[in-house]
């Protein structure tokens, strides 16, 4: 559940250019504590994906809680994590070509950070020979996005043998569990982990040391922690939810009862009332992401206002005819999907006790754009 609107309201909101990304560090701390509680109060069990956080000041808060192992998808996220002082970072994306070369450069620049990558073929693995980069084999749990099908145990074992001493373990992202009803999610998640354990057993039978097993984004994380097969395992098991640092409409619904709150919202301004039943604010899909569908958000404090399909800079809201809404009024929007919403902003305003405490760069948004001298004419 979200918190009451008065927790989010800021003083002098009329002085802020909108749309603006507001982040509440105190609530971030609450969410970190809730995740650690889920993980048995062991920060070593959590390898958060920083695609959501993206802000060095937030990564430093995680590190202060003892969360020093991270996961990311881009070289810019990798660079941001290394600069923040992360101990161990997995680049959980099948980087190729120039992207792989850039990851190698970052690994050389930050030798004190243990950097690893994902592979699913021998050719991918060969790119990392002669480096200090660790390798996780990406296993497809049925999501069919990346990885080797979990049933191809022989192929996975052969690849692990080819990798040799760089082999660190298995990456098993079961993000498709979000597609199942809550009532059956735990059973389906555990069935997947049963298959995963059989795979790990087959690798160990082939004398391959599986040091770490990484599973579980946000929807599956509680069920990884309730799975008996991971308790007391001889390998390190880590969950990797990242959305929970800020939370959004979706995660708060999926993880109701775990103590999570929304720690990031978008401040918007009502700019028009074209009809009696429609008002429009300045939070189109270039600010509040529309990738998860419509409605893109909820209007905090106005449960009966329904966001309609946005355009680039406009977000129409269907409201009751009697709705009191003034042009210039500020709205606080909770995104349906916070990760790409954060990615839409260059800066975030840190809110403490209703005041803007600092302005932080969203350093890991977007991608690096680097070109070698050979490309320049």
Q: Are strands 167-172 and 212-215 parallel, antiparallel or unpaired?
A: parallel
pLDDT at position 217 over 70: yes
Please give the average per-residue pLDDT across 124-131, as a whole number: 96
Q: Are strands 69-72 and 148-149 parallel, antiparallel or unpaired?
A: unpaired
User: Could you give the CA distance from residue 315 to residue 298 in angstroms, rounded to a whole number?
Assistant: 11
Structure-token pair, residue 240:
């990797």
CATH code of the domain occupying 28-244: 3.20.20.10
- Only one residue has tokens 């775990």, namely 258
- Only one residue has tokens 């082999």, namely 167
pLDDT at position 101 over 50: yes
User: Could you give the CA distance from residue 26 to residue 146 in angstroms, rounded to a whole number?
Assistant: 36
Residue 3 burial (CB count, 10 A): 14
pLDDT at position 351 over 90: yes
Helical ranges in the chain per DSSP H: 25-38, 56-64, 75-84, 97-109, 122-126, 153-163, 182-205, 221-225, 249-254, 338-343
Please give the average per-residue pLDDT across 100-113, as a whole number: 97
Q: Are strands 306-307 and 315-318 parallel, antiparallel or unpaired?
A: antiparallel
* Domain locations in the chain as residue ranges: 5-21+258-361, 28-244
Distances (CA, A) of 166 to 158, 163, 212, 233, 294: 14, 6, 12, 21, 44
Question: How deeply is 324 buried, as exposed, middle or buried, from its count of CB atoms within 10 A (0-12, 13-18, 19+)?
Answer: exposed
User: Could you give the CA distance from residue 319 to residue 67 in angstroms, rounded to a whole number?
Assistant: 43
pLDDT, residue 2, reads 47
pLDDT, residue 89, reads 98
pLDDT at position 4 over 90: no
Nearest alpha-carbon partner for 266 in 313, 219, 327: 313
**227-236 pLDDT tens trace:** 999 998 999 9
pLDDT at position 199 over 60: yes
Q: Are strands 355-361 and 278-281 parallel, antiparallel or unpaired?
A: unpaired
Please give the average per-residue pLDDT across 19-30, as a whole number: 98
User: Could you give the CA distance from residue 23 to residue 343 in angstroms, rounded to a whole number?
Assistant: 13
pLDDT at position 1 over 50: no
pLDDT at position 302 over 80: yes
User: Could you give the CA distance from residue 188 to residue 177 in angstroms, rounded to a whole number?
Assistant: 8
User: Could you give the CA distance from residue 311 to residue 240 in angstroms, rounded to a whole number?
Assistant: 33
User: Could you give the CA distance from residue 358 to residue 356 in angstroms, rounded to a whole number?
Assistant: 6
Architecture of 5-21+258-361 per CATH? Beta Barrel (2.40)
């Amino acid at each position: 559940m979200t918190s009451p609107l008065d927790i989010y309201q800021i003083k002098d909101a009329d002085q802020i250019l909108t749309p603006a990304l507001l982040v509440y560090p105190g609530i971030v701390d609450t969410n970190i504590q809730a995740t650690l509680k889920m993980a048995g109060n062991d920060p070593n069990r959590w390898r958060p994906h920083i695609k959501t956080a993206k802000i060095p000041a937030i990564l430093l808060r995680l590190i202060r809680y003892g969360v020093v192992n991270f996961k990311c998808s881009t070289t810019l996220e990798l660079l941001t994590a290394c600069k923040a002082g992360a101990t161990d970072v997995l680049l959980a994306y099948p980087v190729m070509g120039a992207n792989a070369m850039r990851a190698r450069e970052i690994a050389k620049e930050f030798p004190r950070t243990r950097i690893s990558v994902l592979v699913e073929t021998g050719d991918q693995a060969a790119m990392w020979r002669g480096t200090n980069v660790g390798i996780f084999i990406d296993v497809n749990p049925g999501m069919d996005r990346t990885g080797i099908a979990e049933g191809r145990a022989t192929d996975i074992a052969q690849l692990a043998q080819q990798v040799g001493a760089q082999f660190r373990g298995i990456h098993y992202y079961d993000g498709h569990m979000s597609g199942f009803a809550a009532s059956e999610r735990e059973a389906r998640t555990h069935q997947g982990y049963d298959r995963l354990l059989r795979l790990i057993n087959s690798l160990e039978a082939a004398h391959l040391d599986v040091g770490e097993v990484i599973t579980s984004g946000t929807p599956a994380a509680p069920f990884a922690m309730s799975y008996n097969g991971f308790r007391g395992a001889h390998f390190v098991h880590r969950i990797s939810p990242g959305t929970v640092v800020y939370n959004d409409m979706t995660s708060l619904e999926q993880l109701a009862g775990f103590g999570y709150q929304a720690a990031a919202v978008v401040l918007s301004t009502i700019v028009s009332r074209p009809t009696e039943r429609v008002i429009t604010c300045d939070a189109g899909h270039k600010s509040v992401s529309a990738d998860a569908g419509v409605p893109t958000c909820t209007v905090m404090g106005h449960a009966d206002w329904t966001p309609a399909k946005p355009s680039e800079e406009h977000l129409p809201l269907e409201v009751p005819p009697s709705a009191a809404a003034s042009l210039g009024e500020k709205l606080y929007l909770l995104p349906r999907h916070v990760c790409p919403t954060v990615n839409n902003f260059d800066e975030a305003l840190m809110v403490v006790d209703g005041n803007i405490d600092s302005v932080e760069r969203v350093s890991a948004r977007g991608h690096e754009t680097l070109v070698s001298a050979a490309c320049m004419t």
